Structure 1
Amino acid sequence: MDESQIISLSVDQYTLYAFIGYLLLMVGIGLYSARFSSSGISEFFIGGRKMNKLVIALSAVVSGRSAWLLLGVTGLVYAQGASALWAVVGYTAVELVLFLTYAKRLREFTEVHDCITVPDFFATRFNDKNGMLRIILVITFLIFMVSYVSAQFVAGGKAFSSSFGITQNSGVLLSAGIILLYTVLGGFLAVSLTDTIQAFFMILALVFLPTIAIIDFGGWAAMMEALQLQDAALIDPTALTFGAFVGFVGIGLGSPGNPHILARYMAIDDPKQLRFAAAIGTFWNIVMAAGAVLIGLIGRAYFPEVGMLPGADTENLYPFLAQNHLHPILFGVVIASIFAAIMSTADSQLLVAASSVVRDLYDRIIKKDEEIPQKTLVLYSRLVVLGLVVFALLFGLIAQDLVYWLVLFAWAGLGAALGPTSILALYWKGTTKEGVIAGVISGTVITIVWYLIPVLKDNLYELIPAFFGSLFITILVSKWTKK
């Protein structure tokens, strides 16, 4: 293989056809779902609480993983070795616990009180008559959701650029346009159905690619030997500092605070089916995580120097490895899996952000004394999604951070602001509205400040101190204020 083949990607026509077929399928689902999602904002934002257990299990898993898993984790394992697997252990364990405990309680409360959004839940739980708690939650959502969605657009730009040879900015624009189309058309039903199909694309690619690449290399023993010769630490899962270990495992603390995951718990048709969803979701979380880790390891064996990757960027490892080992049609599936990861997260976040604006600001605060027709609210929701895409797009075009870290920042902010407060709201009767407001603000502020101070950020992931800081402040202020 000559140098030009090593550092660039070329696209076969069959790869392009396979990818176009995938995109047409996604848009078709959006068109199919449009009528159902237009009937009201409950249908548009949480599927009218009529979603099947399998759909909920798979969409909850893939909406939480995003391009971070396929591009970020594979690149991290390439750079750091097997010790990076701890980055996937935390969220897998936490989400299992959430499915089995937290999800059922949240689902039952939100049905009884007709809560469509996470701010709806908080406002009802704490009798937020003046709307202060809603407003603070909406602002928090928008701060971190824009970063999160922008990260997905940036990932889409990278994937388009490395896979189809176009500029990254053009790829960002294409990614945004595709996600916008079916999200605006189909709402939550389209998002959940596409997530389910996208889960199979991701699983297929994450199972087949490392398996074939390891066989082509000469087997597991040959891969381990090659990595051992490079650096013995690459195959040692304990080769990391205590701070790095805590930071990796602590990623799971973000799950109870990310509203695009919580929306799945609220949308299932029967809360008794959450145990089934827990089993399915956990199994596929493990399969996808194992695939990402193996791709990083075998990729390091094939390409010992980062300069051998397109753009010398570790986040290009996944599509580059696939191109070198798969038939063009299967390579098209891999490219589709990248966009599946991107879209499954971005569309969910756009719906959550739009719901906070339309439901929580416009319907519940600005027009709280008026009866707004449901179809009017759906129309406004679609317009807000459009506006959010434009705003996130502008941010994404100038974003310089790696996808991995930009996603982790947004994940941390939401996890720290909403995770401790939502857990306490569901499980501790002593929690007060003032305590929640203090917890949301402190979690947000600690995340941002910690992220901006290099000496702090380099030693511990900002979610850890922000989560426990928010937890402590929520309890402290609740103790001082009236229930």
Structure 2
Amino acid sequence: MERRDGKRMFTIGSLDWIVIAAYMLGMVAIGLFAGRKLKGYEDHILSGRQVPTHYLAPGLLTTQIGAGSIIGFVGLSYSIGYSGGWWIISNIVTFIVLGLIGAKPLREAIGSKTLPEWFGNRYNEKSRLFTSITIAIAEIAFTTGQIVGGGLLFSVLLGWDPKIGIFAFSIIVVTYTVLGGLWAVFITDFVQMFVMFAGVTALIAVGVMDTGGITNLIKTSPEGYFTLVKDGQISTVIAQILYAIPAIFCSFDIIQKIMSAKSPQVARNSCYWAAGGVVFFAITMPLIGILGYHILGPNVENPEMITPLLIGTILPIGLKGLAISAVLATLMSSASACLIAASAVITNDICKYFVNFEKLEEKRKLSINIWLTLFLGVISWAIASFYDKAMGNMELAWTALSCGAFIPLIAGLLWKKASSAGAISSMLTGALTGMIWLFNDNPLGWRPIIPAYIVGILVLVLVSVLFPNKTGNYVGSRNQEDLVG
């Protein structure tokens, strides 16, 4: 099959189709296999809390490296070089921080199946309700974003109508996630990690050879393309790291996997292994953007399509199918994680306000979560296909969540005197500050999280001191004496 994109001709050979089809059918087969492990509700949303390091570390890594990395930040690096990859680089820091202060206590909180439930146990039901609603909406938005990315990939490389690509991508992701739950997500993530490594390596190797080697690439690139921190950019770098840390702590698709670890030590160590894996993508993703600048020229109309355009332009038949599968892997791993996270929060933390979910039989709870996962998959597909303008409104929930929940989360982990009144006050004022800042186009050039965190910290400390808890609520660690008093 050949298709023309402007002046470029893409050839998708039979071998490429075989590789792509084998990959996608393999994902569905894994879902069927993982479904055999499901005995109850907690197996579907937490894999029975029995996930070992060799599944958890790839799961954390592939969930975090999604459409933003393979599409957005490759496109940014096409325009400005390696300094466009700081979001990816910052995830090295965030996984280390998560391992140091968050992974063990969140896994030790065995009375909490979700992050909102942890907030409810640590603080009160109001904080649980706030985080459950914002997380559910945000995770659906993230799922939709990955589906849109998959549809664009099919459109650019295979010449499909974007809506057909979105439908095909949705069918695969929703099927294996529904059938196998979080176990399917972990096993597919394990496979997808190797597909991602192989596909990205193939693309880089062929691209570097086509441009005359890495030395020639450095010499002929625009000034500053291989500079990690440009003059006057240090504040931007710090802001990226400050933004990335709450992004990972407040992402239940990540925290859900932490809570599913076989032990607190596995949870912590997997974060460190994931940080090491990010190094590979921190090096390769910006390099793909720079290769795109040299091979495709400086005037590509849509830089976010650099990766698929590069795949279609330079890779031979066979490797092209591998690279397409690699990009699909980055998108599918993130989409499936976000989808199962959304369904878990709704059944565990929102349904309780309408039905006594905990009193239901285990098989009944499992059935409800399976059907809800399917329903949310259909909703995500519909939004991606027909209601793309809704994405902006849905992502406001992420602004409210990250600006409101991060400070109470960190305080709940590290400061045993953080009170319920302080937490909910910090959540509301932080979220409100962030939204006001966002709607006023970020005064002073600050992202909403900066003023939100300043306000959130002040409010949490002040209200916690004035209105302390009458009894200890700390649920995050077995060793309260390790906390700041």
- TM-score with structure 1 length normalisation? 0.88
Contact preservation (8 Å) 1:148, 1:410: no
Q: How far, CA to CA, are the matches of 2:140 and 2:433 in structure 1?
A: 18
- What residue number does 1:395 align with? 383
**Does structure 2 conserve the Cα–Cα contact (< 8 Å) formed by 1:442 and 1:466?**
yes
Cα offset for 1:219? 1.0
Correspondence for 1:224 among 214, 218, 226: 218
What is the DSSP-based 3-state SS (H/G/I as helix, E as strand, rest coil) of the residue aligned with 1:205? helix
When you count helix as a share of all residues, which structure comes out higher?
1
Asked whether the 8 Å contact 1:258–1:411 carries over to 2, the reply is no
1:222 is paired with a residue of what secondary structure? helix
Secondary structure of the residue aligned to 1:22 is helix
Cα distance in 2 between the residues matched to 1:246 and 1:406 = 27
Deviation (angstroms), 1:326? 2.3
The residue number in structure 1 matching 2:264 is 271
| 1:32 match | 33
Cα offsets for 1:426-453 (capped at 9, x unmatched): 1111112232223333444444443443
CA distance in 1, matches of 2:421, 2:328: 41
8 Å contact 1:147–1:406 — kept in the other structure?
no
Aligned to 2:460: 474
Alpha carbons 2:155, 2:162 under 8 Å: kept: yes
Cα separation, partners in 2 of 1:292 and 1:155, compared to 1, 3 Å: same
C-alpha separation between the residues in 2 aligned to 1:159 and 1:282?
27
Q: How big is the shift at 1:327? A: 2.6
Q: In 2 relative to 1, CA 455–434 (structure 1 residues): closer, same or farther, beyond 3 Å?
A: closer
Alignment partner, residue 417 of structure 1: 404
Report sequence identity in percent: 23
Distance 1:46 1:98 in 2: 19
Distance 2:320 2:236 in 1: 34
Question: In 1, are the aligned partners of 2:138 and 2:394 still within 8 Å (CA)?
Answer: no
Where 2:341 maps in the other structure, the secondary structure is: helix
Q: Quick check: 1:293 aligned with 2:281?
A: no
| Cα distance between partner residues in 2 of 1:40 and 1:244 | 46
Q: Which residue of 1 aligns with 2:416?
A: 429
Paired position in structure 2 for 1:97: 97
Q: Which moved more, 1:96-105 or 1:71-80?
A: 96-105
Equivalent position of 1:189 in the other structure:
183
After superposing the two structures, state which structure 1 stretch, 410-419 or 12-21, moved more. Answer: 410-419
Q: Give the structure 1 partner of residue 136 of structure 2.
A: 142
- The CA deviation string for residues 169-203 of structure 1, in whole angstroms up to 9 with x for no partner, is 22222222221111111101001111111111112
Residues 237-256 of structure 1: matches in 2 within 5 Å? 237-239=228-230, 241-253=233-245, 254-256=247-249
The answer to whether 1:121 aligns with 2:118 is: yes
Name which of structure 1's ranges 76-85 and 320-329 shifts more when overlaid on structure 2: 320-329
3-state SS of 2:297 partner: coil
Cα separation, 2, equivalents of 1:284 and 1:183:
24
CA distance in 1, matches of 2:317, 2:415: 55
The residue that corresponds to 2:473 in the other structure is none
Letter in 1 for 2:308: P
| 1:157 aligned onto 2:146 | no
Q: State the 1:368 CA deviation.
A: 3.7
Q: CA deviation at 1:466?
A: 3.5
- How far 1:415 sits from its partner (Å)? 3.3
User: Aligned partners of 1:295 and 1:87: how far apart in 2?
Assistant: 15
Q: Give the secondary-structure state (helix, strand or coil) at the position aligned to 1:434.
A: helix
1:459 is aligned, of 439, 445, 453, to 445
RMSD of equivalent CA atoms: 2.7
Residues 300-330 of structure 1 deviation map (CA, whole Å, 9 limit, x = unaligned) = 12223233xxxx2112111221233323222
1:135-183 Cα deviation digits (max 9, x unpaired): 2222111232222111111111111111211111222222222211111
SS in 1 for 2:330: helix
In structure 2, what is the Cα distance between the partners aligned to 1:417 and 1:227?
Answer: 42
Kept in 1: contact 2:133–2:350 (CA 8 A): no
Q: What CA distance in whole angstroms lies between the structure 2 residues aligned with 1:165 and 1:416?
A: 40
User: What is the deviation of 1:370?
Assistant: 6.5
Separation in 2, partners of 1:98, 1:443: 21
- Say if 1:467 and 1:300 are closer, same or farther in 2 by CA, change over 3 A: farther
- Give, as a single letter, the amino acid of the residue that structure 2 aligns with 1:261: I
1:29 and 1:190 in contact (8 A); partners too: yes
Q: 2:364 aligns with which of 376, 389, 411?
A: 376
Q: Which moved more, 1:463-472 or 1:369-378?
A: 463-472
User: By how many angstroms is 1:85 displaced?
Assistant: 2.7
TM-score in terms of structure 2 length: 0.88
**Distance in 2 of aligned mates of 1:170 and 1:323:** 19
The aligned counterpart of 1:18 is: 19
1:257 to 244, 247, 250: 250
CA distance in 2 between counterparts of 1:406 and 1:372 reads: 34
Does structure 2 retain, via aligned residues, the 8 Å contact 1:44–1:187? yes
How is 1:317-356 mapped onto 2 (pairs within 5 angstroms)? 317-356=306-345
- Residue 235 of structure 1: aligned partner: 226
* CA drift at 1:283: 1.5
1:161-180 superposed matches below 5 A: 161-180=155-174
> For 1:344 and 1:46, how far apart are their aligned partners in 2?
16
Q: Which amino acid aligns with 2:313?
A: N
Check 1:117–1:212 CA distance in 2 against 1; reply closer, same or farther (3 A cut).
Answer: same
1:406 CA displacement: 10
1:137–1:440 Cα contact (<8 Å) kept: no
Q: Do the aligned partners of residues 62 and 472 (structure 1) sit closer, same or farther apart at CA in structure 2, a change above 3 Å counting?
A: farther
